[in-house]
Structure 1
């Protein structure tokens, strides 16, 4: 695990950029406080920050490897973990290759020499990879199939720079000649969806290699990306009476994934919200570590605490449980720091409690497991039930449906049946945009007067829908979420907020073998018996306590609606809006009016307000240089 930073120069003048790389590297020291350094040849300069997890004494980066006739042909720098590295190592040794370390990094570069770009199809893990072939003068970049680990890049006349974090590229902007203008299309996408969708960033000159893609480039050339991960959701009918076979395959795949995710030379803990996903991961992890520590966070309010649920689950599976309760004051104070770590804003209020629980966990462990990805893979969101409820509309002749559509449009908002009529007469492409849309277009124009209809969420979702037309409705929604909400929100906060605390987060549900089983589940075994994730729940009957099996999705809920209307955050929000220098972007008067409407109980604007507020804080840090995120250097013990 590390933060990688590098540059492929256009004119074989890498030595001129070593100072810039070394200056930019500390921007992401949090990703790897255990070791740092740089390396260059005439074409490429690398920088790295290492968080030592496996093979602590060796596997230093950049890692040089090559065959006997050219022993230093390749230079690799790599962010992530390869969980099947032992199996791949054995396979490659049987093919005659020699290894000099006992870590996972060397497995990647040896595999690249043997399989070429197809090495990514053999890797089971999370990764951002850069391999420089000194003989062929080709740089190879890759990201894991789901996008758990990030990889930014910027191409200018000077060359192509790439990094695990955007802020390091921003630091190198003078040497690169990098365009730092804001991308208005990306801003509209962010306000619409609560996150900046891949491959965009809010800066026009910086982009991201998309999840499940590789890229190659040569000195002076462009980044040529290729998609290797094409999830198909190849649903397989299950013969009546053979459902248990499927449930057993799910359980076996998840058990194997957790076992491999526990591979580390440091202590591994687990987050625990109390819902079925995190409880399953913790229960399986305990089989490999009887002294497993689990961690959760929550808020004390109105005589109720969400942490009670997690504590109940921890007691049921027999693990030691550590709780961090976050106050509204702590919450507000941490927001600038969190926006700095994110690189681009993500309007998810759960980022803040996640930051605090990660900080608490890092006092005890260096790696944690978590339950992200279960909902997308196994059909866990309640909205996935919608195709069932809207199925009767599919039987209505098209002309009549059009008439009902017009009727729905003239009915007043809030009238009983209007929402059902509206959604039932829409196509899936029109009605489902993932889990995160904050504004309809009318609301969007209220705060973004310059917003363009052609830049709305459909610009992001249309290419995904074009690919998944052959899938059943539930699978189409899952497929869309894999490429939107999950990689735009869920995995960004999983990576950035935990790495902010030099804590490695591992997500066993997002494993290629687990996915291979999950994508075969027919929709009637995802949404069944009045619940979601039906097949997963059946698979976990012997793994999680009975009281957890049908518990609703929990996560780390935040009382944002209550706080923005009350003394907790109303004053902070008002000051943030008033002081922000974003008049060329937002209509400040309308945003203040929305805040007042929210406080007065006219409309719940909490999600929309939080989207704007997060951007304003981000803008104050990165563009105005007005807000100090107050980043502190943290020194952690290496051997937790």
Structure 2
């Protein structure tokens, strides 16, 4: 796990600027740094290293291929590197390796087979940049699901890229303005989905994509080497033929294989453990394949409504792990807030970012790598919202769209929609498919689209609005696919990566293994959900290791009481300073009257909208990142 950065066609001081970019992401790689500058000064690559495999200088980056034709800067881990290495040796592509790092195996494979063939073979998480001296190109790639970040774009006439968007801001000549067109999406979702960022001219390379940039004219070409949509469609067309018991056995086998690969490290390793199904399954299987006791980590909350530490401790004792738990106070959590804008580099407002940072900080005191249970809800239908999508679509979908759409418009413009329930029913009536129902569940309040001033900006489309909402036959699978395309990579994985890397902790997600993705999409609907209870096949794996009564408890979630905190004197003063009406009017980005209404609805009428936190995170980013040059 590391951080990469680079410049192509930059006219200023290359070494100084790459040095500044490296320094900005010191937290991503505190162990070492490296810089490569091509002889013609057209390409510069930077790297910060968090040493995980091959701690020696033989694993240092940027790294040149044995042929001397290519140079790589790479962030991530290739879990099946040994398989790729064996293939290279068996086919005579490489006679011997200088070290034991996956970086060397990766660059030699790319040199021998090309980027696309290599990535098709590899299992892992990564953001990659490879300079090809013969072709005079730099090729970039991102892992299948989007675990590792890669930002790129035009800065002062040069092509710039980095693992951290903040690295682009420190480049001499950076003057990219705020991309106001993306704000409606941000204030709806609480994050900015790929390929967009908060800046004009700066983008996120999308998951599963390869982009090649010509060094001479900076032209680029992007293609996909993996499609989550195609994987889902193929899986649903070729459903798993075995029984539920056989499905659980196969999932257990695949998870164990993934976990074994992801437990390879030359540094201390452990796992996050909540009282939930996902992390408990990962820990149970880790303990079953590990030669010794696994280390597990939990943070507890003072507020019992959000505390799962006691249940997690019970599970840890049952499994026999070496368990560490630490209780965090409101003071601990509130002290994280000022750090968030630097951590994420652009507005990001999933409030569970705070406890995720705190559990990462605590875990890093003991280990350098931690496995996580993320992915279980999206791949195995864990969210309760999936049940509501099925229920709502089961009612409105019986009527033809040409009847429902006009009815929806009439209802939205009638007194019927004055109530929250009436508004929701009116909007659901106009849904094109089950995917639309899922989207409308969190886009229902019309005030959301009024927060940002339009100033002629056109609304942007993104995957939630672009995808075929009837693509898959089952409503639940449609909702799951939407989450795996947007919510999971652009919220969940961003949150985990940025908060963990802020304390130099590598996180790994076994459920996102390629073989598990393909298997999960092949499962029939009734293998996933029964009534209101999801993750059936995953539960059946876990029940072999942990008693049902120990994990079948109401999920409390990994969250904090933001609405309660905002009424505390100190936090309220911080919030009201950011939401000052004159300040917002002077900024000219948000509508001061709408922001005032959202805040007074909360403080005077008790109506809490999640957009309050979204606005606060935007305002804090604006003051602490954007306005500081």
TM-score with structure 1 setting the length: 0.89
Which residue number corresponds to residue 191 of structure 1?
187
Q: Quick one: which of 8, 18, 37 aligns to 1:21?
A: 18
CA change 1:417–1:537 in 2 (3 A) is farther
What is the CA-CA distance between 1:412 and the residue it aligns to? 4.6
- Indicate the SS of the match to 1:211: coil
CA change 1:439–1:194 in 2 (3 A) is farther
How many Å separate the matches in 2 of 1:434 and 1:372?
24
Which residue number corresponds to residue 6 of structure 2?
6
Contact 2:380/2:537 (8 A) holds in 1: yes
CA distances 1:204-249 after superposition (whole Å, capped 9, x unpaired)? 1321111110111111222311111112312156688723222211
How many Å separate the matches in 1 of 2:471 and 2:418?
31
How many Å separate the matches in 2 of 1:117 and 1:29?
28
What is the CA-CA distance between 1:586 and the residue it aligns to? 1.9
CA distances 1:549-576 after superposition (whole Å, capped 9, x unpaired)? 5344444121112222344733332233
What is the CA-CA distance between 1:385 and the residue it aligns to? 1.5
Which residue number corresponds to residue 64 of structure 2?
64
What is the CA-CA distance between 1:183 and the residue it aligns to? 0.5
CA change 1:343–1:399 in 2 (3 A) is closer
Contact 2:396/2:428 (8 A) holds in 1: no
Contact 2:306/2:559 (8 A) holds in 1: no
Deviating more after overlay: 483-492 vs 320-329: 320-329
Which residue number corresponds to residue 340 of structure 1?
342
What is the CA-CA distance between 1:459 and the residue it aligns to? 4.3
Which residue number corresponds to residue 129 of structure 1?
128
Pairing 1:229–2:235 present: no
How many Å separate the matches in 2 of 1:528 and 1:424?
26
Contact 2:601/2:607 (8 A) holds in 1: yes
TM-score with structure 2 setting the length: 0.90
How many Å separate the matches in 2 of 1:271 and 1:208?
28
Which residue number corresponds to residue 297 of structure 1?
299
Pairing 1:496–2:498 present: yes
Which residue number corresponds to residue 90 of structure 2?
94
Contact 1:283/1:317 (8 A) holds in 2: yes
For 1:450-599, what aligned pairs fall within 5 Å after superposition?
A: 450=454, 455=459, 459-465=462-468, 469-567=471-569, 569-578=571-580, 581-583=583-585, 584-599=588-603
| Number of aligned residue pairs | 611
Which residue number corresponds to residue 637 of structure 1?
none
Which residue number corresponds to residue 79 of structure 1?
75
How many Å separate the matches in 1 of 2:313 and 2:359?
14
Deviating more after overlay: 307-316 vs 366-375: 307-316
Deviating more after overlay: 211-220 vs 523-532: 523-532
Gaps of 5+ in 1: 627-640
What is the CA-CA distance between 1:380 and the residue it aligns to? 1.4
CA change 1:184–1:460 in 2 (3 A) is farther
- Indicate the SS of the match to 2:248: helix
How many Å separate the matches in 2 of 1:569 and 1:431?
35
Contact 2:21/2:170 (8 A) holds in 1: yes
Which residue number corresponds to residue 428 of structure 2?
423
How many Å separate the matches in 1 of 2:402 and 2:207?
41
Contact 2:248/2:537 (8 A) holds in 1: yes
How many Å separate the matches in 1 of 2:153 and 2:409?
47
CA change 1:240–1:420 in 2 (3 A) is farther
How many Å separate the matches in 2 of 1:473 and 1:569?
41
How many Å separate the matches in 1 of 2:279 and 2:471?
32
What is the CA-CA distance between 1:400 and the residue it aligns to? 5.6
Pairing 1:36–2:33 present: yes
Deviating more after overlay: 422-431 vs 30-39: 422-431
What is the CA-CA distance between 1:524 and the residue it aligns to? 2.3
Gaps of 5+ in 2: none
How many Å separate the matches in 2 of 1:241 and 1:253?
15
How many Å separate the matches in 2 of 1:356 and 1:239?
40
How many Å separate the matches in 1 of 2:446 and 2:291?
50
For 1:130-529, what aligned pairs fall within 5 Å after superposition?
A: 130-156=129-155, 158-174=157-173, 178-219=174-215, 220-231=217-228, 232=230, 233=232, 234-235=235-236, 242-287=243-288, 288=290, 290-301=292-303, 305-389=307-391, 390-397=393-400, 401=404, 405=408, 408-409=411-412, 410=414, 411-414=416-419, 419-420=424-425, 422-423=427-428, 426-428=431-433, 429-433=435-439, 437=442, 440-445=445-450, 447-450=451-454, 455=459, 459-465=462-468, 469-529=471-531
CA RMSD of aligned residues (A): 2.7
